[in-house]
């Protein structure tokens, strides 16, 4: 999977194997880490006379940061690259290959917070209530939209659902999340009905694939296809800049919160390891919170009081 051309890269190879075997990171994440480290090593090889990445000091790392800034790379992307490097040096510390992490006191570059606007209930309703077509691709695609919105699962989680993960008797789906953590998510009745309809069409396709979602050729669906399905559907009803599976996940959490679901329950459904990740959705619900507050608080000035 990963090719290392000479001994200079052996430390990186050990690090990638550590992330793969012990941390169980995805191939996508491993590829991103390796690219960041390869870019850094290439810079050091061109700019400095160093025999090993272990010998690099913070001033040399800082010059790489300056180089990245001058290359018009966003602060957010630079911070991600530095995070990869910092994690790498932590690994070298853990394996006693270095004593001091040269990035231990580094502070991330300032970034502006990206506001991810969820789809409105009306936009989702327009998609889900669009005229039906009785063919495999339409039934599959519509179910994908329903499943994203009714469960809040990640794109990778949806793609990796197996046939045996669907339990209609108990009305749940088993999802394999980050770090290979399993969780069970309830399936509402309308989604269960859509699943039954999809299974009928799926059974007509000659496929030995164990994955639940497949293409019309019987192969496992893939990232770009899922993104394209969501983008195509919502491009017809929404003018929002970003129309992706993650925005549907975002919408799921925001709408649940607006309807009174508690944060801990949403955290479990989303598969977050801590509430910190889930709390981002409280910002989108602030308007709803103000509305409830103004209607409920005895000292609030209401329209009918004027």
218: region left, alpha or beta (phi > 0 left; psi from -120 to 50 alpha): left
DSSP track, 267-284: HHHHT-SSHHHHTHHHHH
User: Of the residues 106, 197, 246, 288, which is catalytic?
Assistant: 246
The helix (H) or strand (E) run that includes residue 98 is: none
297 classed as catalytic: no
227 classed as catalytic: no
User: Of the residues 202, 249, 255, 267, which is catalytic?
Assistant: 249
User: Of the residues 11, 154, 155, 243, which is catalytic?
Assistant: 154
Contacts 24+ apart (CB under 8 A), 31-36: 32/80, 32/84, 33/84, 33/87, 33/88, 34/2, 36/80, 36/81, 36/84, 36/85
Go through 25-59 and write b for each residue having 16 or more CB atoms within 10 A of its CB, e for each that does not. beeeebeebbebbeebbebbeeeeeeeebeebeee
272 classed as catalytic: yes
DSSP track, 11-37: HHHHHHHHHHHTS---HHHHHHHHHHH
249 classed as catalytic: yes
User: Of the residues 178, 197, 240, 288, which is catalytic?
Assistant: 178
154 classed as catalytic: yes
304 classed as catalytic: no
Catalytic positions are 154, 178, 246, 249, 272, 281
């Amino acid at each position: 999977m990963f090719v290392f051309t000479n001994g200079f890269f052996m430390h990186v190879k050990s690090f990638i194997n550590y992330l793969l075997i012990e941390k169980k990171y995805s191939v996508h994440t491993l590829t991103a880490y390796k690219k960041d480290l390869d870019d850094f090593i290439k810079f050091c090889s061109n700019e400095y006379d160093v025999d090993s990445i272990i010998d690099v000091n913070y001033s040399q790392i800082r010059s790489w940061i300056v180089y990245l800034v001058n290359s018009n790379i966003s602060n957010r992307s630079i911070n991600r690259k530095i995070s990869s490097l910092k994690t790498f040096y932590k690994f070298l510390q853990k394996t006693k290959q270095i004593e001091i992490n040269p990035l231990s006191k580094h502070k991330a570059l300032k970034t502006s917070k990206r506001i991810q606007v969820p789809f409105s209930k009306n936009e989702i309703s327009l998609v889900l209530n669009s005229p039906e077509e009785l063919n495999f691709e339409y039934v599959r695609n519509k179910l994908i939209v329903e499943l994203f919105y009714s469960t809040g699962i990640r794109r990778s989680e949806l793609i990796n659902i197996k046939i045996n993960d669907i339990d209609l008797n108990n009305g749940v789906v088993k999802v394999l999340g980050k770090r290979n953590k399993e969780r069970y998510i309830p399936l509402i009745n309308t989604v269960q009905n859509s699943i039954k309809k999809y299974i009928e069409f799926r059974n007509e396709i000659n496929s030995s694939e164990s994955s639940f979602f497949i293409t019309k050729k019987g192969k496992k669906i893939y990232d770009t296809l899922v993104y394209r399905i969501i983008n195509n559907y919502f491009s017809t009803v929404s003018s929002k800049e970003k129309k992706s599976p993650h925005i549907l996940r975002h919408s799921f959490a925001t709408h649940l919160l607006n309807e009174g679901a508690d944060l801990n329950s949403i955290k479990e459904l989303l598969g977050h390891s801590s509430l910190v990740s889930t709390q981002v959705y409280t910002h989108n619900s602030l308007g709803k919170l103000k509305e409830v507050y103004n209607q409920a608080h005895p000292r609030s000035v209401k329209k009918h009081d004027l």
